[in-house]
Amino acid sequence: MEETSTGTSWDVVIVGGGIVGAATFYKLQQRFPRKRILLLEKEAQLSDHQTGHNSGVIHSGIYYKPGSKKALTCAKGRRELVDFAKQHGVKHDVCGKIIVAVTEEELPRLEQIHQRGIANGIEDLRRIDAAEIKAIEPYCQGIAGLWVGCTGIIDFRGAVQRMAGLAIALNPASAVHVGEKVLATEPAAQGSVVRTSKGSYTAQAVIFCAGLQSDRMARADGVKVNEQVVGFRGDYYELTEQGRHKVKNLIYPVPDPRFPFLGVHFTRMTDGSTECGPNAVFTFKREGYGKTDFSLRDTWDALTYGGTWKLFFKNMAYGIDEYRRAFSKKLFLKTLQRLVPDLRMEDIRPGRAGVRAMLLGMDGEMVDDFRIERTGSHIHVLNAPSPAATACLAIGEHIVDLCVEEGVLA
């Protein structure tokens, strides 16, 4: 999407063209149809990092602590996202998923997830037995499970394009600029000056939805951020044509609470392919999707931060296993066979990769919940991990409310 309006003076500048930035653009333009809003994205197209490399799942909200921002925002955002997709022709399918317990020791954790889902008001949720697992996913093997009928899949890149297009339709004086990197922001007589790789703009308010660069942009803007973003790459395999019939929709394991990730799972995508993964390995480049990608700055920042090492030491065995799987198809397959024993080497092939932005405390613990902070007329989305894509419209609505309540916009 290219620029549709010119000029250097704007009511709002949004930094970052992922799904949170696009949803905020759309929600702001709905609330303030006369305001001129500029969305800036440093890459050549929108949604080119976390949004465009995630698993494409519409999350139910079942895993999150009741009452947390994640739990409340995910459920609200999910329903709104599905309605948006229906109304505006975004490819999606509310196909449901199963969470499968393979061993007896997983049953108490499965029950905890069930009770958390009930507390979070997750609809179409029920326990299923081994026979029902087979009825839903004939090649899956487990002793018990949860059916989560409101989980789905969606084309998040398509959703981003639709949100941006609808925002500009509401006010053709607004614009999207791609291939334009924000370098700095400075105070101005009325609002701020946003300096980019292609020019400068004045704005009454600036909203940062910078994803993998959120901590750096916040610090450069004078926000005190005690934590640091550390990137973790997730590698996927995909089912080949001969293996695709072995998974119908979505199959998830029971997560191990000792580790900060959900574990490898199976996801049918909106294009009909099926992905298997991801693993989770430290990446030497925040925006690096190849196994050997490297950035000296990113590596230095991560490995000179004490929280990174505390995370490593807390999860040493898990981390070693993840790295071994990253470079071994045989080991990756063995993990997948825990849920689908009939999978064979010829059923899977290497797929794509994504990078998660983990906001990590000095104690080595992830900041689990969403975090949005304001400084003057600037708003920073500091932490928006999964399920931020599912919750994007609710997050965007919250940012608009924050702008109004704090007097950032009137």
Q: What is the pLDDT of residues 182-198, one digit of tens each?
A: 999 999 888 999 999 99
Kindly state whether residues 233 and 329 are assigned to the same domain. Answer: yes
Q: What is the pLDDT of residues 56-75, one digit of tens each?
A: 999 999 999 999 999 999 99
Residue 380 domain-assigned (yes or no): yes
292-314 as b/e, with b when 16 or more CB fall inside 10 Å? ebebeebbebbeebebbebbeee
Average pLDDT of the chain to the nearest whole number: 94
Q: What is the pLDDT of residues 220-258, one digit of tens each?
A: 999 999 999 999 999 999 999 999 999 999 999 999 877
Kindly state whether residues 29 and 122 are assigned to the same domain. Answer: no
Percent of the chain clearing pLDDT 70 (strictly above)? 98
Q: What is the pLDDT of residue 315?
A: 86
Task: Tell me how many domains the chain contains.
Answer: 3
Kindly state whether residues 113 and 172 are assigned to the same domain. Answer: no
Residue 408: pLDDT over 90: no
- Going 296 to 301 to 304 to 308, the CA torsion angle's sign is negative
Report the alpha-carbon distance of residue 154 to residue 92 in Å, rounded: 4
Kindly state whether residues 201 and 317 are assigned to the same domain. Answer: no
Indicate the pTM of the whole model.
Answer: 0.95
At residue 2 the predicted structure's pLDDT band, cuts being 50, 70 and 90, is very low
The last residue of a domain, from among 128, 149, 170: 149
Q: What is the pLDDT of residue 260?
A: 64
Looking up tokens 């941006």, which residue turns up? 164
Residue 395 domain-assigned (yes or no): yes
Pairing verdict, β 191-196 and 125-129:
unpaired
Kindly state whether residues 326 and 283 are assigned to the same domain. Answer: yes
Closest CA to 235 of 211, 215, 264: 264
Boundaries of domain holding 394: 9-51+156-227+369-405
Kindly state whether residues 162 and 46 are assigned to the same domain. Answer: yes
Q: What is the pLDDT of residues 314-329, one digit of tens each?
A: 888 778 888 888 889 9
Q: What is the pLDDT of residues 262-299, one digit of tens each?
A: 789 999 999 999 999 998 899 999 999 998 999 999 99
Which tokens sit at 388?
A: 């931020």
Q: How far is CA 278 from CA 156, 191, 224, 252, 356, in A?
A: 18, 42, 32, 11, 11
Kindly state whether residues 177 and 101 are assigned to the same domain. Answer: no
Residue 133: pLDDT over 90: yes
Pairing verdict, β 175-178 and 348-360:
unpaired
Kindly state whether residues 243 and 273 are assigned to the same domain. Answer: yes
Residue 65 domain-assigned (yes or no): no
Least confident of 14-18, 206-210, 257-261: 257-261
